[in-house]
Chain A
């Protein structure tokens, strides 16, 4: 599976946009980019995922570069409740490999939102 590289930590002011980068230079054509976050001592929470196109939902936006070697998660208006560890994961889609859905988590980025 492709690996990802994320900065270990970043701070963000409340109300501002938080832009979280992720490098996945060895991503394969059938691999999706997923983002999760984990608030302390809880199970990870799904945020968003994409293959090629940019995606947006009620929580965040995902921008994937044209060569798919990196992506950025955007939290448009960070709140204190967004303080968490954010994980960027690449994982193969279904039907293409027997390792579909095998999520490999790295260390993630600790995001601290300050008042």
Chain B
């Protein structure tokens, strides 16, 4: 079935370590997105990519990095520079003319 797969669902890391969250889609969508959600809050855009090998910062890009080497994949690295990395991370993809589809998210806890 087509869709977006985020892995892992739960992730624990020690403070100061970088961690990479995976996002893969087989929908042949051009654009992919990463959002962060804190408890009781809406989604905030971290990075987005409209085409392979290109991406733009969203509203809260500091402390995060991404790559888009393949159309299907848009991994997010949470670096040690991110001061409050514990959050729910959501990946999405879309075509140029239609709605975005979301993955089921990765819940990152930094201890």
Asked whether B88 lies within 8 Å of A46 as measured between CB atoms, the reply is no
Stretch among B13-21, B61-69, B76-84, B95-103 lining the A interface: B95-103
- A contacts with B: majority SS: loop
Given contacts A41-B105, A43-B104, whether A101 and B96 have CB atoms under 8 Å apart is yes
Contact B102 A95, beta carbon cutoff 8 Å:
no
Knowing A101-B31, A101-B50, A104-B45 are in contact, say whether A34-B96 is a contact too (CB < 8 A): no
Q: Which of A45, A103, A104 has the most CB of B within 10 A?
A: A103
How many B residues are at the interface, by size bracket?
A: 20 to 34
The listed residue with most B CB atoms (<10 A of its CB), out of A34, A98, A101, A105, is A101
Interface residues on chain A, number (Cβ under 8 Å): 22
Q: Give 28 pairs: A residue, B residue, CB < 8 Å, sorted on A.
A: A41-B105, A42-B105, A43-B90, A43-B92, A43-B102, A43-B103, A44-B90, A44-B92, A44-B102, A46-B99, A46-B101, A87-B42, A93-B97, A94-B97, A100-B31, A100-B50, A100-B96, A101-B31, A101-B33, A101-B50, A102-B45, A102-B48, A103-B43, A103-B100, A104-B45, A105-B42, A105-B44, A107-B42
